Structure formats: C-alpha cells, structure tokens
Structure 1
C-alpha cells in the first residue's frame, strides 16, 4: 500500500516535502526547522515520522496551546540551540480610543506586506491589545514596516513569551447522526442549519476543511478533519462510524467555544 493512500490527493506535494525533510535528517544527519504549520500539517508530519528513531521531532508555536507551530527535526544525539525555534513575539500598539484591531484586519495587514502566511504564527487579539508570533528573521521588518492595520496607525515592539495573550481552547463535545459524510450534511448537523443554507455557504467560500476553503458541497469529510464555517466557529470530527437502525452514520464531534 502506498503511503499516499492514507491522505488526500491534494496533500501529496506536502507529503513529498515532509518525506524529503525526513530523509535529510535520517540519512544525511542535517537538522531541519519548518515554517509555521497548521494543525492538519502537524498531524501529517507526525504520522509520517511515526516511530522513526532516526528523527527526533519537536513542535512549538510560542506557547503551550499555539495552533500554528514550527517543527524541529533533529538527528539522534544532536544538541539544539538554546532558542531552536527562532520565534519572535510582537506587540501591536495602537490608539485604542480610535478603534480596535481585529484578527482579519491584522492578518490582512501582515499578508499585505508581501509576507507568506507560513512565516506567521498565531495572532492573539485581546481587549485593546493585539499580538502576533512570526519567524525571528522578520522581527526587524515588521517593526519597521507594519505601520497601519485597517484605519489605525500602529507600531510594533518585541515582547517576552510570558507576556503573550492566550488562553487554553475550550471544546464542547456532542453526538449526532448523519445520512452521509458530505460537507454540506455535516455543516447542517453541527451548526443546526438547513441543508440548503449550508450548501449556499459552501458555494460562497465560507467553509473550510483543515484550514483550506472548500467549495464542493459533496466534499467527503473524514475522521480527524477540522471544519469551520464563517460566522459559526470551528469544529472537529472525533469519530464517524457505525450505523443506526435507520442506516444513519453515528457522529462524534467537538465545537470550539
């Protein structure tokens, strides 16, 4: 059985990239540090490494519950640097009396400067406060060039990790039944929407599976997938299997509070 059969076809390029990194570490003893990955990418990398004793894997995004994180792949007996993940922590300062910074606005400003998303970690938004994590080499760039977010003038300054705004994610778990594992069917079940509304949202590009926009209402959802619908939050599929007497699929899922 090919290793690719365990993953979706669109993930093949990513798998090839990870396999190359693993080969560099295990065969040529070269340490490798990835860019920021979303949780789905982290899961794929962990799966590919498995119990490979020739590769030591560490994943970190700046704090314990970080969603986006970098992976450090090391050969056995290799001693990492004191700060092996090369992260920068930046506080976005702005005049709160004139408005506030939102997550979409901050992300838009960061990406609008021409920086790739995989160079940026979590964005942390609090009351009258905004912060973000990025690769260390971009710290001076953002301190110099990030001067506006939305309509607000801003400035950046480095902070210590202990001063980050963050809380542990909270999930609420539920069970249900569905007639199929199509995306529109699961959105309807999880977010209590008429199926036609779920289909319309998918067609408008409002639904994501594993952090990628999906516009096919019949997209097949699998156990472990993370689904989000704009305006309704994020959910994850814990398990899907077993049939009821009416031939419906038993579903366990979590919703992010």
Structure 2
C-alpha cells in the first residue's frame, strides 16, 4: 500500500476520499514550493478529516480558524513544519448585516441565499451568526467588496453592511434541553424519534426525503449508526447531540442522554 493510500485508508465515503486527496495535493505543493496554502471553508466533518491527514505528515504544520472560538466552518492554513502556528494568520473577513426585520421573519437561510445570490460560492462563506436584528458573517477576504458594495437586500428587506472585527462577534445563547431516553438500537431513525418525540415512521420518512444531516452530511439511510458525540441536524427544527450512554436497561434497551438544541 502506498503512503497516500495508507493515509486515506480510514475514509469510506467518496466525498471524504476526494477531500483527502485534495488535502494531500495541497500539502505536496506546500512542500515543493516551500510556501503556504489556505483551504476554502470546511464544515466540521471536513475540518476533522483534513486535520487527521495533515497530522500524519512530518514536514507539514497546519492551523484551523473560523473567525471565533465557537466556529463550525473553518479554513485550514497549511505551511512548512519549521513555521510556528501561533505566527500564522488565516485570511478571514467579518461583516455585520443590519435591516428592519420587525415584520419579516428571516433566518440563516435567507442571509446565506442573499450572499450566494451575489455569485459568492458557499465554500467562500463561513459561519453566519444571527444576533437580534443583525447577521454576523465570516467570509474569505476575496468576497469583501462584493458583500460590502453589492448586498442590498435580504428577503426583500433593505440592509446595511459594514465590516467588523471578528473578535466582536456576539452570540445568542441557544436553548438546550437535556433528554434522557432509551432506544432499542442506535439507528438514526430511532435517535431522531426519541430526540424530537416524533413517530418512528415520520422520522424514517424525513431521513429518506433528505431532510436530515448526520455530522453535517445528508444521510438518507434510516439505519445509519449514530455514535456518542454525533450531531443530527433537522432543517427548521434544530439539532440533536448524543451526549453519552447511560447504560443498559433491564429490558436490554440502550439508555442515552441526548441534548436538543434549538
């Protein structure tokens, strides 16, 4: 087995393998040219894959940043091992988008749609954090002019855009409900049903219709295995996080703690 195949051998999904190959290609270019390279924004699953691969390369170092401490979407800067991570800066720009949304219900998807409607690709946009009447957006610096000068409306509401320091980002505390439950197995449809109180058939249908993401990847298999630490996202309803196993009941069911985040 070649060294590249060995490094990628733990990856099963086609999209994960392709990402791994891209990361190895970038690392090779950094080594050959003795320079730095920064990825586009990666979701948490992709970031984890990139970090695991780069950690195996002796002559390479890396740093992942998303503009704030709670960042989900991050860019990874890859650089020669002799450089120190604390001396590296991941190129990021942050913006405030404000408008009078008193009579219009807007959410994450509306702001994302307005940005991609300008021709900005999703991979160039990081987290979008909504706080009261303001959306705080992290993006690549190359998108700065487009966002500042051409974003005029979100869901037909006129908006003002200004640049901000990324360390000024404010978070609204999410509601988190702790659920103690038991399931016959750790299938996705069983966890989803327990977390939201839906029927098993409704949960299965939602999965098969492509409305559910498991660890940021759309999952259409109701029987997909869910592990402790996994995150399930349901559009318009929130997220479920499997926090821990609490043992086995007398009847043989698996006792879990699940957090519902809305």
Between 74-83 and 34-43, the greater mean CA deviation after superposition:
74-83
The answer to whether residue 7 in structure 2 is matched with residue 8 in structure 1 is: no
Residue 147 in structure 1 maps to residue 133 in structure 2:
no
Q: In the TM superposition, what is the alpha-carbon distance from 1:60 to its structure 2 partner?
A: 1.1
Do 1:18 and 1:45's aligned partners in 2 also have CA atoms closer than 8 Å?
Answer: yes
Residue 136 of structure 2 is aligned to residue 118 of structure 1: no
Deviates more, 1:46-55 or 1:240-249: 240-249
Where 2:112 maps in the other structure, the secondary structure is helix
1:216 is aligned to 221
Q: Pick from 233, 237, 244: which aligns with 2:238?
A: 233
Structure 1 unaligned blocks of 5 or more = none
Which of 40, 48, 52 aligns to 1:47? It is 52
Deviates more, 1:40-49 or 1:165-174: 165-174
Displacement of 1:221 in angstroms is: 3.1
Query: In 2, Cα distance between the equivalents of 1:180 and 1:18?
Result: 35
Aligned residues: 257
CA distance in 1, matches of 2:240, 2:150: 35
1:64 maps to 2:69 = yes
State how 1:186-201 maps to structure 2 within 5 Å: 186-201=191-206
2:133 equivalent in structure 1: 128
RMSD of Structure 2 on Structure 1 (CA): 3.1
Range moving further from structure 2, 174-183 or 142-151: 174-183
CA offset at residue 244 of structure 1? 5.5
Runs of 5+ unmatched residues, structure 2 = none
Give the TM-score taking structure 2 as reference length: 0.82
| TM-score computed with the length of structure 1 as normaliser | 0.84
- 1:163 aligns with one of 154, 163, 168: 168
CA offsets per residue over residues 89-131 of structure 1, 9 Å max, x none?
1111323455464211111111222221110011121212222
Q: Which of 74, 79, 93 pairs up with 2:98?
A: 93
Shift of 1:16: 1.4
CA contact (8 A) 1:235 1:254 kept: yes
Greater CA deviation, 134-143 or 78-87? 78-87
Asked whether the equivalents of residues 37 and 79 of structure 2 are also in contact (C-alpha less than 8 Å), the reply is: yes
**In structure 2, what is the Cα distance between the partners aligned to 1:73 and 1:46?**
10
